[in-house]
Amino acid sequence: IGDAFWWAIVTLTTVGYGDKVPFTLGGRLIGVFLMFAGISLITLLTATVSSVFVEKRIREGKGLEVIKLKDHFVVCGWHSNGEAMLEALIKAAAPAESQIVLINELDEEKINALKYKYEQTQIRFVKGDFTHEGSLRLAAIREARAIIILSDTSGNHSLEEADRRIVLATLAIKTLNSRAKVCAEMLNPKNEEHLRRSNVDDIILSGKYNNFLLANAALSTGVLQATEDLLSFEGNVLSKVKIPAYLVGGTFKEAFDHFRKESQALLIGTVREEKKIGLNDILTDDYSAIDQFIKRKFQESEEDYFKVQSGLKVNTNPDDDYQIKEDEMAIVITKGRSS
């Protein structure tokens, strides 16, 4: 019986070692049956395991699979400027180290395009409404490091209801993970009080610098508040002031020490207005016939090759040995009105 059992197992899993072989017709028929049964069993097991993995990948691609991450970022919602915000977050967090989960109702093709474009970053996707607890749980919101909520227009959601949905999402997120930092974009300043009641950490009003502010608010606590302090006229403010004549030709370090000592200001850079050359700057003072001919030909070309315009050249945080130029102004952080 033991030899028969051993032979059956070997025949089922392989084609046999040859150490035990049937001699009778019945035994050989059973052997043939076991061989085909073994092949079928292995094929069935392989197909089952493969189908499980394939189904899992399909569900992940469609945003229906549970995300198993820790200390990751979650971006709720999407709009026309969403990719710029995502890129700002990736740059601020370091592409190879950041793990980002997107919760929105975008098409699978759009999500795949984002994953391909930012392939160095681990981007996962949950398809659904971020105001629903089920979608938040799929994104492992309990283990998230920080959450950014955008004014969502994916899934045919209108901007009119964006602020209301952000308030609902913040309440749900803080219920599931009170430790996570929540940074929300808001369209209407009148709704700020409602959002504050939901224990949001930072609010960014919709504007030009949303991408930078949202990304840094999620990564670095205090950056948003410092930026708001500098952009307001209270506390510390950014100012442009003249550089004393005796500092012209000196180093940035010398100018830095001067402003710090004399006015408790922090020198962070310089600005200089550069005037580009115009056609009249090339022509001679007597305005001869040749000059008139040249000017007339340029005018006839209908191309403004010598448009007079000025541009500002800002030099932020230069090296200590940077030489101060005669026409430069200082950009400093000074005490505001309330200080």
Task: Check residue 308 and give its pLDDT.
Answer: 43
Closest CA to 216 of 206, 197, 202, 230: 202
> For residue 40, what are the contacts with CB-CB under 8 A and spacing of at least 6?
none
Helix (H, G, I), strand (E, B) or coil at 232: coil
Task: Check residue 206 and give its pLDDT.
Answer: 77
> For residue 76, what are the contacts with CB-CB under 8 A and spacing of at least 6?
103, 104, 130, 147, 148, 149, 150, 152, 169
Closest CA to 213 of 203, 224, 205, 199: 224
Domains, the chain, ranges and CATH?
2-50 (1.10.287.70), 73-231 (3.40.50.720), 236-335 (3.30.70)
Q: What is the pLDDT of residues 70-80, one digit of tens each?
A: 999 999 999 98
- For residues 82 and 211, give the distance between their C-alpha atoms in angstroms, rounded to a whole number: 8
- For residues 83 and 70, give the distance between their C-alpha atoms in angstroms, rounded to a whole number: 23
Give the Cα-Cα-Cα angle 106, 82, 112 (nearest 5 degrees): 45
- For residues 87 and 66, give the distance between their C-alpha atoms in angstroms, rounded to a whole number: 24
- For residues 122 and 115, give the distance between their C-alpha atoms in angstroms, rounded to a whole number: 8
Low-confidence ranges of the chain (pLDDT < 50): 305, 307-310, 338-339
Task: Check residue 19 and give its pLDDT.
Answer: 52
Task: Check residue 222 and give its pLDDT.
Answer: 82
Task: Check residue 339 and give its pLDDT.
Answer: 46
Task: Check residue 32 and give its pLDDT.
Answer: 60
Task: Check residue 102 and give its pLDDT.
Answer: 96
Tell the residue number behind the tokens 């709704």, with chain if given.
191
